[in-house]
Structure 1
Amino acid sequence: MPGIDECLLEAMRLPGARGAALVDWISGLALGTVGESPGGDHETAATEAAEIARLAAEQHVFAPADDPDGASGADVDPPVEDLILSNRDSYHVLRFVGTSFDGSVVLHLWLARAEGNLALARIRLAEMAERLVLA
């Protein structure tokens, strides 16, 4: 089972990958980064990705149909699996990672739009999130 560094390096092998980070979406801290960073600063990118993830995770409207109250707690995953943001030249994919402690971690992958494969990135990030071991 891969750790943070192995997971991020695997993400960078995806077509079009420009950068990747593992971010605590509660605190905004980057637990690991690799490659380029949107805007040139990994810490700022982590903080901004955390803000977006937190906004989505805390909204009850995004809760699954079988969880209309949008219940949240330390032992409940966020209602959102992933987020996709796009602009003229890139995609940002944020994949929520379930953890045994508090579930407040998200994988952030930055893809070049021309070379990236969004469907493949979503599938692989989901697989990576399942295998990731946080110690």
Structure 2
Amino acid sequence: MPGIDACLHEIMALPGARGAAIVDWTSGLALGTAGESPNGDHETTATETAELARAAAEYPAFAPDGPAAEPVAQPSGGPSGEPSRAGTREASGDGKGPPVEDLIVTSRTGYHVLRFVETTFDSSVFLHLWLDRDTGNLALARLRLQQLAERLVLA
């Protein structure tokens, strides 16, 4: 089970990795960084990517079962006449974890992959990988980030 530094080291070992960070998307703070930053400042990059992550996790267009989801009345409500909760997070399983798995932003020179991490507290953390478009492998990066997100220990 890797901690923050070990996780960032493993991310940077991916082919084409230019930079990486572990970010709290509610505050926009980088919990750890490695490599380069797209704009030269890891803290600014963390704040900017946190805004994107927050939008994806909270807006119903991207995460219909997200934290702000409200019950939606369905014509075939429950036997007691209560509205169905089919559109809420509770109906999607255990009700834990981030509502979005990952985000990919493509630029002319690279990819930004944001992988949400399920935590024991409030699941407001994501991994950010800046991947070179010519030398990186997007599919491999997504799989590896998924594995690391599942094993990451935040203490």
Global fold match (TM > 0.5):
yes
Q: Compute the TM-score of the two structures, normalised by the length of structure 1.
A: 0.92
Partner Cα separation in structure 2 for residue 112 and residue 103 of structure 1: 28
Aligned to 1:34: 34
Residues 11 and 125 in structure 1, CA contact (< 8 A), matched pair in contact too: yes
Q: Taking structure 1 as reference, are residues 128 and 67 closer, same or farther at Cα in structure 2, changes over 3 Å only?
A: farther
Structure 1 vs Structure 2 CA RMSD: 1.7
Q: What one-letter code is carried by the residue in structure 1 that aligns with 2:87?
A: P
Which runs of 4 or more aligned residues in structure 1 lie more than 4 Å from their structure 2 counterparts after TM superposition?
64-67
Aligned to 2:108: 88
Q: What pairs with 1:1-135 in structure 2 (closer than 5 Å)?
A: 1-63=1-63, 68-70=87-89, 76-135=96-155
Q: Which runs of 5+ in 2 are unaligned?
A: 66-84
For the pair shown, the structure with the greater C-alpha radius of gyration is 2
Secondary structure, counterpart of 2:135 in structure 1: coil
Partner Cα separation in structure 2 for residue 63 and residue 52 of structure 1: 13
Residue 68 of structure 1, CA deviation: 2.3
Residues 64 and 88 in structure 2, CA contact (< 8 A), matched pair in contact too: no
Residues 30 and 43 in structure 2, CA contact (< 8 A), matched pair in contact too: yes
The count of aligned residue pairs is 132
Residues 56 and 63 in structure 2, CA contact (< 8 A), matched pair in contact too: no
Secondary structure, counterpart of 1:93 in structure 2: strand
Residue 67 of structure 1, CA deviation: 5.7
Q: Which runs of 5+ in 1 are unaligned?
A: none
Partner Cα separation in structure 2 for residue 110 and residue 67 of structure 1: 36
Partner Cα separation in structure 2 for residue 119 and residue 88 of structure 1: 17
